[in-house]
Structure 1
Amino acid sequence: MTVKLGVDIDPECAHPIEKNSTAKSLQADVASLDPAIVSHVFENASVSLLAGCAPCQPFSTYSRAAKQKHGVQAGKNRSEDWRLVEHFGNLVEQIQPDLVTMENVPPLAQQPIFQRFLEKLTGYWVDWRVVECQTIGLPQTRKRLVLVASRLGPITIPEFDRPPATVRSVIGELPQLSAGGHDPIDSLHRASRLSSLNLRRIRHSKPGGTWRDWPEELRSSCHLKNTGATYPSVYGRMKWDAPAPTITTQCFGYGNGRFGHPEQDRAISLREASMLQGFPKQYSFLPDERNASFDKLGRLIGNAVPVKLGEVIGELFSEHVAKVREIATRH
């Protein structure tokens, strides 16, 4: 299976696409992408595959909670939230590739737009399910809705049961860092700074524990509110011998979730975050990573589809095509 083209509206995606693969990059908005461009890429392909992943923030638990907190009505501006899923469906209708896959957050399945997307897959065998990423060997408690579709024949997403991976098995051997420190060899292995208060907090944090482990004087006023009780993982440490939480765009910040290193008094580094997403240790995200901001690199890492998930879906399609061809040969 050869990836020929990667399309993203974010110009920063061009480097990782072209540096780490043989694919070409195209900066474009899927809402205005000319289907003829993609069709041209498929011209000499024996089997064509179109993969899409609309940003999941509109459907995420965090996003929906934030909207409720700020009094935004459910469904307000929903056409804007759903537009990329809908436009991807339009591309599928117009291009009619042999194979289609889409990844998103599980709550998408309860949205009307998902049913409308399924209706655009007329002529395809379709299967979808929520995949727990721990079962595919990714060291994350991440759940994702995965859809596969084929015009070649019936296709089914299996029940995955790969050996579990842990934080220790993935990042346990990386060089030690202090908060604000960096590895002189690996520019991505650097950790964000901590204030003196947060440094005291993380020193009292236990792996897998909560802010309730801290002395009273270190607790924030928000922790004393009723809403604070619902976010126990904020300012938490990961456990060595368990999977990490879902890696987000803000995973480099100690106060943004359970992103504290299991042992060292700091948040996980950008390299550790990328490896927990399944990226190879030497993966390059930007031409000048040493001077790139944490926000920019965090966005590229956290918004990515976990590599292991792409891998198992690619294997599923390869096996599917081989089976279809074997059946055709018999007849």
Structure 2
Amino acid sequence: MKLRESERDCHVNIPPFKLIDLFAGAGGLTLGFTTIGNNSFQPIWANDCNKDAVATYRRNFGSHCVLGDILEVFKDSDLRMPEADVVIGGPPCQGFSLLNKNRNSDSRKQLWKPFFEGIERANAKIFVLENVPQLFGSEEYEQIIRIAKKLGYKLACSKLCAADYGVPQVRWRGFIIGSRFADPKTVFPPKKTHYNPDQGALLGGLNGDNGYIANPKPWRTVRDAIADLPAPESTEIGEIPPLNLQFGRNPTPLSLARYQAIPQEGMNRFDLQRIAPELTPPCWIRKKSGGTDLFGRLWWDKPSVTIRTEFFKPEKGRYLHPEQHRPLTHREAARLQSFPDNFQFCGSKSEIAKQIGNAVPPLLAAKIAECVYALLLAGETPC
């Protein structure tokens, strides 16, 4: 939801709304919330258990991010968690992910409980909980709804595709927004700003009546995001953005031969098996179906697939560059996640990759933030 100038002008004297980010990671959600309006949100407290993610958060947003397991942090009798208008966060999603074969017994599925403890401690007017869409079909989702309503929150829930909001990536996420004073369904989900050009003709006109803003744009593509970047020349983290993260790897001769065997956009492991069976791992030959993105090349003129934490390993997904014989670099993955080049990441190569892959795309987060801001303004007394 985009605010009209008259709405902004009517509330010019309202100070920034205070924001807490739990399970903050690198701060993709916080970045989205702090980039809308003119200092509309002020981050005042955050938490994560990963020291490198906390270092990244602190580098970009300030020293208020607390390092530690949230369960242990909340046990600290000396903890003075401030009150805030909004609590946001994404409890670890691996417990619900279809990629997790042990998800039915994964303890991480219960980390929504300390998230709600944080909401109560902060006395938040609004909360935003983010997770994989599979959350919505779980027993935990029903528990979350019951607890939130018991605490007095009105709720709105939706699955959103990041590509529909300007992120050059087809990434689906689930969001639950709770508000103590107004129905969040009046502002959420946000209207889509971009559309799938392959389906545009089927939508019968793109407008507010079918969930789009006026004159939406086509989905942003891999070409839009990374075509201007040169081929990597180093294998180490550099100093000056954007090329500080534009580093490559040292592939084995076998890996390089596999890359070269499938040179066209969209090719994958099945093409490798067809063209060069002698280069194909036996386990892939035995696996006759599924995994069509494994060892796949991206398309220039489509959004990327979901960027996960091991995007630099082509055997994990469709992470080969559209034409160069290599996997994605960290800078390319960060751009496909919609992180700006001036965002500073801390840690080793693998830790930075985790931060990039685990983040909520900041552009998507900004659209959620606009909904929350509109809801908060509606609850203020106009000037």
TM-score range, shorter chain: 0.7 to 0.9
Moved more, 13-22 or 253-262: 13-22
What is the aligned-residue RMSD (CA, Å)? 2.3
Q: Which runs of 5+ in 2 are unaligned?
A: 1-40, 195-218
Match of 2:231 among 176, 183, 187: 176
Q: Deviations over 1:119-165 (max 9, x none)?
A: 12131111011111111111111110011111121112225321311
Aligned to 1:33: 73
**Residues 179 and 63 of structure 1: is their aligned pair in 2 closer, same or farther, counting only changes over 3 Å?**
farther
Q: Distance in 2 between matches of 1:153 and 1:38?
A: 30
Taking the aligned partners of 2:118 and 2:239, their CA distance within structure 1 comes to: 45
Is this contact kept in 1: 2:125–2:180, CA < 8 A?
Answer: yes
CA distance in 2, matches of 1:222, 1:24: 47
Comparing 126-135 with 21-30, greater Cα deviation is found at 21-30
Structure 1: 4+ residue segments shifted above 6 A: 35-39, 181-184
Match runs of 1:227-306 below 5 Å: 227-286=287-346, 292=348, 294-306=349-361
Distance in 2, matches of 1:120 and 1:166, equals 40
For residues 331 and 370 of structure 2, what CA distance do their matches in structure 1 show? 26
CA-CA distance at 1:175 after TM superposition: 1.4
Residue 9 of structure 1: aligned partner:
49
Determine if the alignment matches structure 1 residue 224 to structure 2 residue 285. Answer: yes
| Deviation of 1:266 (Å) | 0.6
Q: Deviations over 1:232-278 (max 9, x none)?
A: 21111111111111111101112221000111111110111111111
Q: Find out whether 1:87 has 2:121 as its counterpart.
A: no
Deviation at 1:61, TM superposition (A): 1.6
Cα separation, partners in 2 of 1:105 and 1:218, compared to 1, 3 Å: same
Give the corresponding residue for 2:248: 191
Report the CA distance between 1:305 and its aligned residue. Answer: 1.6
Counterpart of 1:70 in structure 2 is none
Deviation at 1:30, TM superposition (A): 2.0
TM-score relative to the length of structure 1: 0.86
- Is 1:113 aligned with 2:113? no
User: Which residue number in structure 1 is paired with residue 156 of structure 2?
Assistant: 127
Which residue of structure 2 aligns with residue 71 of structure 1?
Answer: none
Q: Which residue does the alignment assign to 2:189?
A: 158
- Structure 1 residues 180 and 13: CA distance shift in structure 2, 3 A: closer
How many residues end up aligned between the 2 structures? 308
Q: CA deviation at 1:81?
A: 3.0
Q: Which runs of 5+ in 1 are unaligned?
A: 68-73
Deviations 1:5-51 (A, max 9, x none): 22101111222212112462101222233398887422xx6xx1111
For 1:159 and 1:20, how far apart are their aligned partners in 2? 26
Structure 2: distance between partners of 1:217 and 1:180: 29
**Residues 87 and 122, structure 2, Cα contact 8 Å, conserved in 1:** no
Residue type at the aligned position of 1:272 = E
- TM-score norm. by structure 2 comes to 0.75
The residue number in structure 1 matching 2:366 is 311
Question: Aligned in 2, Cα 1:91/1:22: closer, same or farther, shift over 3 Å?
Answer: closer
Q: Aligned equivalents of 1:232 and 1:258: distance in 2?
A: 8
